[in-house]
Amino acid sequence: MQAAIAAKRACPSKSVAIVSEELAVYLRPALRSVIAGYVERVGDIAIYPSKILEQLQIMFLKGCEALDVIPDRRIVIAKKKHKFPIKYGKLVFTTGSVPTFPQEIESCRSGLFTIKWFNDALELSRYSTPGMKAFVDGAGFVGLEVAEALARRGLDVTIVVRSRLLRKLLEPDLSRVVTRRIEAHGVKVITGAAIREVSGKQKIEYALVGGKKFCADIVVFARGVRPNTSLAVRTGLQLAQNGAIKTGECMQTSLEGVYAAGDCAETLDFITERHVYRPLSSIAAWAAEIAGSNAAVAEKAYNGFVRQQYNKVFGSEVVSIGLSTEDARELDIAAEAVNVKIKEPRYRLLSQLTPVKALMKAVVQKGTETLLGWQVVGLRQCSWASYFFKELIRNRQNLSDVQELGISVK
């Protein structure tokens, strides 16, 4: 949708259409409301109703599957009830991602779920009843959202984490804070383990976690996603080493007139100036705007995105921007995390927007002390101050610049 809107704004005279198997456009975080039992119709979480799309003059071919692309003829072969061709001038791939699922687990039993689309959340909601024992395998925000929604339904919830919660987003001490706050809500957390096996006849009855057998009614795997590139491969698009669609500085692919954005494509990281695969909604939206604009008019380059993630889970706001020390290590960058306190900031706005009851950290490069990342876990106002630190990162400022603003670090 972001790509379509950007294309229409860039060139209102051109016709723009979206081909999607989905029946509505909605935000993924809204799925927790579905799991919690508050929503049962996809229209209740739709963010672009038909009237809005008509005003934007964007054709939404919902419930349609894109089967093939014939780039030489510039045709998409789509199917609803029957196959039909769609002629295009420029094309943007936004095929997203698919959940990863452990190969060692048999997927034929009732009570086994992954969460990606509306129907996934609705099936889990309808299967859940208070008192059931649910295990969520995953350390990211999706796993935490699912666990919180099921806990609100009155289920007995356990989160299983192979290392620690939000490992790629938070430093270890902040991760422990999140773990304690989750446990304070009655949800159990098992770290350093994974679900290796599920057993039962028609439905799940047991889960093997770290060599120990637990009674279980529901198991949700939230171990991340991989790029959905099956159509891209059939089309002949070049893939990057990370498995995503390879893109350039204008989000163009290896084929002329074809662009890609979102969870199916790689992007450029602003800090490291390297191409990476980051399946995040914020980056997907930014990349889609560039791809859509360039599909409509002249090529517009970008110089990279700064990762930005925010969520509120179990009553705590969690923000992570830029690189964590874990990210930096994987990218061969020497980095360390330092504690941050906003005591007497020289900017009045920052003083008013200081996070409430929060622990804050900055990630800096060793030697240069250049800001690489920012993390905070608190109760309120965590996102506002974080935008300020994001700009510091984009301006490539260092610790001494931060201290001159009246912010203490150690």
| DSSP 8-state class, residue 373 | E
In a domain, 35, yes or no: no
Contact between 309 and 291 (Cβ < 8 Å): no
Is the domain of 233 the same as that of 331? no
Final residue in a domain of this structure, among 296, 328, 348: 296
Tokens (6 digits) for 155: 């289920």
Is the domain of 134 the same as that of 199? yes
Say what the pLDDT of residue 108 is.
Answer: 67
Beta bridge partners of 380: 356
| DSSP 8-state class, residue 30 | G
CATH of the domain at 84: 3.50.50.60
In a domain, 305, yes or no: no
In a domain, 52, yes or no: no
Token pair 């999706």: residue = 142
CATH of the domain at 365: 3.30.390.30
What is the C-alpha separation between 264 and 288, in angstroms, rounded?
A: 11
Q: In the β-sheet with 212-215, what is the strand arrangement from edge to edge?
A: 195-199, 206-209, 212-215
- The reply to whether the predicted model has a pTM over 0.85 is yes
Say what the pLDDT of residue 309 is.
Answer: 94
Length of the chain: 410
What is the C-alpha separation between 61 and 212, in angstroms, rounded?
A: 48
Q: Where are the alpha helices (DSSP H) in 159-310?
A: 172-183, 230-235, 281-296
In a domain, 306, yes or no: no
**What backbone phi and psi angles, to 5 degrees, belong to 371?**
-70, 130
Is the domain of 292 the same as that of 366? no
> If residue 16 lies in a helix (H) or strand (E), which one and from where to where?
strand 16-20
What is the C-alpha separation between 162 and 58, in angstroms, rounded?
A: 44
Q: How many domains does the chain have?
A: 3
In a domain, 106, yes or no: yes
Is the domain of 112 the same as that of 172? yes
Final residue in a domain of this structure, among 206, 223, 240: 223
In a domain, 288, yes or no: yes
- pLDDT 10s digit of each residue in the chain, 410 long? 999 999 999 999 999 999 999 999 998 889 999 999 999 999 899 998 888 888 999 999 999 999 999 999 999 999 999 999 999 999 999 999 999 998 888 776 789 999 999 999 999 999 999 999 999 999 899 999 999 999 999 999 999 999 999 999 999 999 999 999 999 999 999 999 999 999 988 899 999 998 899 999 999 999 999 999 999 999 999 999 999 999 999 999 999 999 999 999 999 999 999 999 999 999 999 999 999 999 999 788 999 999 999 999 999 999 999 999 999 999 899 999 999 887 766 666 666 677 778 899 999 999 999 999 999 999 888 887 788 889 999 999 998 888 777 677 77
* Range(s) of the domain holding residue 336: 316-409
102: left (phi over 0), alpha (psi -120 to 50) or beta: beta
Is the domain of 277 the same as that of 387? no
Is the domain of 157 the same as that of 186? yes
Say what the pLDDT of residue 293 is.
Answer: 96
Say what the pLDDT of residue 302 is.
Answer: 95
Say what the pLDDT of residue 387 is.
Answer: 83
In a domain, 74, yes or no: yes
For 281-348, give the DSSP string: HHHHHHHHHHHHHHHHSS------B--EEEEEETTEEEEEEE--HHHHHHTT--EEEEEEEESS-SSH
Is the domain of 105 the same as that of 206? yes
Say what the pLDDT of residue 349 is.
Answer: 64
Whole-number CA gyration radius for the chain: 22
What is the C-alpha separation between 152 and 275, in angstroms, rounded?
A: 39
What is the C-alpha separation between 348 and 344, in angstroms, rounded?
A: 9
Say what the pLDDT of residue 345 is.
Answer: 65
| One-letter amino acid of 92 | V
Is the domain of 209 the same as that of 252? no
